[in-house]
Structure 1
Amino acid sequence: MLLDHFSMSSFSVALDTLITLNLVHSQPIYECKTYGLKDNKALSDISIELTTDGNIEDIETDKDSVLIICGGFRSALKPEPALNKKIAKAAQSSATIMGLWNGSFYIADSKIKIGESISIHQDNKAIMQERFPALHLSTSAFTEEGSLFTCSGPNTALDMMLHFIKGAYGADCSQAVAEVIGSDRIHKTDNKAANRFLRSDTHTPDCIKDAILLMESNIEDPLSIDELTKLVGISRRQIERLFKINVGVTPARYYMEYRLTRARQLIQQSNLSIFEVSVACGFVSAAHFSRTYHRFFGQPPTDTRRTFQEE
């Protein structure tokens, strides 16, 4: 279920994981279909409109279904009665239900039994606390409550999907999917960066998790490290030290790697020009973006697009 302004990166991770599961399993398990709220289309957070397989009225679920509600940074959080009914019906049929980014809002609004906690993006925590005061909200990693899975953004979507596969189909399947995605979708140069992005460490200090979420939410107009420190309430020296301990790199390096990895995804998965990608990922010029991208990935962005299109 793709909400308007849904996160393309979260959607891509979830879809890629299930398709890869079909490839590594002895036989295909899932048929993947997309749905829009009202029309047979949905607009992503990077202004790419996808034609869907149907609209919300076409959704049918049973005990073997996985219903994924995919939101995004600019998805309007308001009651959607038709969606609430579909979520409630899915819960009654014992289907697996997942919330990506702020898809969790609609799961909570459907009034189904949730359990102890639910994950939500940091930017939506305030409205969730006001709307659902009885819920325990988590903004880090993902949560599992029986057949309900929620995560707060694209960086934890893969963790959540691999965890689901491990529980449903075993550790071997989960590991096989992780290896295929790691070797097939991720360039050797950005493998370490991806491992950092996908880390789900309960021991990481909340201030570092909050800083990372702020970075994720400010790609087109990046925050300075001084602005980050003020927002999370610690000194620059502290954030530098804690990032090195918990993430392995400085916050500036992490931020740059994240923006470059997002740029790589846009180059591979969208029709945006290299200039448009550079703007979307917060670079001052296309030339600066191309030089930085080349140093990090070992090839210019034009070569990345050409190689991906030829595969």
Structure 2
Amino acid sequence: MPHPRGQTRRGRTEVPAERPPTRIGFLLIPDFAMIAYGCAMEPFRAANDLAGTTLYQWVHVSPDGGPVRASNGVSILADHGASQSLAQPGSLEVVFVCAGGNPAAFEDPATLAWLRAEAARGTRIGGISGGSYVLARAGLLAGYRCTAHWDYIPAMAERFPRLHLTRSLYEIDRDRCTSAGGTAALDMMLALIEAAQGRALAHAVAEWFLHTRPRAGGEPQRMSLRERYDTSHPDLLAVLDQMERSLEAPLPREDLARHAGISVRQLERLFRSHLGRTIGTHYLGLRLDHARRLLRQTPLSVLDTAMACGFVSAAHFSRSYTARFGRSPRQDRGRPTAGRPTG
């Protein structure tokens, strides 16, 4: 009976000549997303099982050495604390930082110093979802292409304007690798396994997890506007795209209609019939959602946030914000993103 290409007669996937296992550290930041962590860690376990040998070993690290609670309430025991002496220098070859919730609120100088020390030793450093934010705080993404979950990108761009920040699923740039989180972490780990162990093993791992089409790093994170709004009307899609690109300087209805080549009345009808709301209501919602991300994830003042979202009056911004979210901008500043599905 023929065997799948790249597999031995025992069903194990062939890998390059034996070498010491790659040592990986998973630094878990409180409120990390379990799905992103699982998609980052499980491919290495599967690679070991499918290869029939220990290719990868891993430890869990927390800021203080204690258990770390994920956003879903599950806690994972840590093997070490970042503020403690982890082991001899060079004991880890890769460190992945897993974070979710509101990584902008994470304040632990000892953990950031440990990450910088690992990077200085030549350890490959990775960020999963909000972990990229933590790496940026540590100053470890300067000069590298990087990405993060789309919910964090606006705040990261505001706080770290010099970052080469993309909206890709993942970025692997020399000794830095960052993932948007969620299932994108699985795609990035498959790419790393392929680079180290070969395509056959990476494909076997993908199939093991029923991931029949591993995605390239440059693929988009979000659904298209057509899928997100469940509409295929070209004029409406053109205007929705223009709105999302113009949050800081909102365009008048006349300019939006002119961009689509229709009248304001026609555009208003499109919004009501396809989205069930007016142009103004939809645009205001986009700007307020953007404001909420900036308030929670950046040190911008309420006034600066208002201006960054196209409000000329702090009072108008505060009234609109409170009406939408039931909390004032000041009450929401730095508030954890509990209940949000950020991966």
SS of 2:68 mapped into structure 1: strand
- Superposed, which structure 2 residues align to 1:124-163 within 5 Å? 124-163=152-191
Q: Does 1:164 align with 2:180?
A: no
- TM-superposed CA distance for 1:73, in Å, is 3.0
SS of 1:105 mapped into structure 2: helix
Q: Does 1:50 align with 2:76?
A: yes
Taking only aligned residues, the RMSD between alpha carbons, in angstroms, comes to 3.5
Unaligned runs of 5+ in 2: 1-26, 232-236, 245-269, 276-338
Equivalent-residue separation in structure 2 for 1:109 and 1:210 (angstroms): 32
Q: Map Cα deviations across residues 244-303 of structure 1 (whole Å, 9 max, x no partner).
A: xxxxxxxxxxxxxxxxxxxxxxxxxxxxxxxxxxxx899xxxxxxxxxxxxxxxxxxxxx
Structure possessing the higher relative contact order (Cα contacts under 8 Å, 6 or more residues apart): 2
Say which of 128, 131, 134 aligns to 1:106. Answer: 134
SS of 2:76 mapped into structure 1: strand
Structure number with bigger Rg: 2
What is the match of residue 244 of structure 1? none
Say which of 140, 143, 150 aligns to 1:122. Answer: 150
What is the match of residue 208 of structure 1? 223
SS of 1:153 mapped into structure 2: coil
Q: Which moved more, 1:42-51 or 1:25-34?
A: 25-34
What is the match of residue 304 of structure 1? none
- Superposed, which structure 2 residues align to 1:1-311 within 5 Å? 1-58=27-84, 59-60=86-87, 62=90, 65-112=93-140, 114-182=142-210, 199-200=215-216, 202=218, 208=223, 233=243
- TM-superposed CA distance for 1:136, in Å, is 1.9
- TM-superposed CA distance for 1:104, in Å, is 0.5
Closer, same or farther: CA 210–33 of 1 in aligned 2, 3 Å? farther
TM-score, normalised relative to structure 2: 0.54
Q: Retained in 1: the 8 A contact 2:169–2:219?
A: no
TM-score, normalised relative to structure 1: 0.59
SS of 1:11 mapped into structure 2: helix
SS of 1:34 mapped into structure 2: strand
Unaligned runs of 5+ in 1: 183-193, 216-223, 240-279, 283-311
Equivalent-residue separation in structure 1 for 2:74 and 2:217 (angstroms): 33
SS of 1:208 mapped into structure 2: coil
Equivalent-residue separation in structure 2 for 1:8 and 1:57 (angstroms): 23
Closer, same or farther: CA 211–18 of 1 in aligned 2, 3 Å? farther
Closer, same or farther: CA 18–47 of 1 in aligned 2, 3 Å? same
Query: Which one has the bigger helix percentage?
Result: 1
Closer, same or farther: CA 171–199 of 1 in aligned 2, 3 Å? closer
- Identical aligned residues as a percent: 23
SS of 1:57 mapped into structure 2: coil
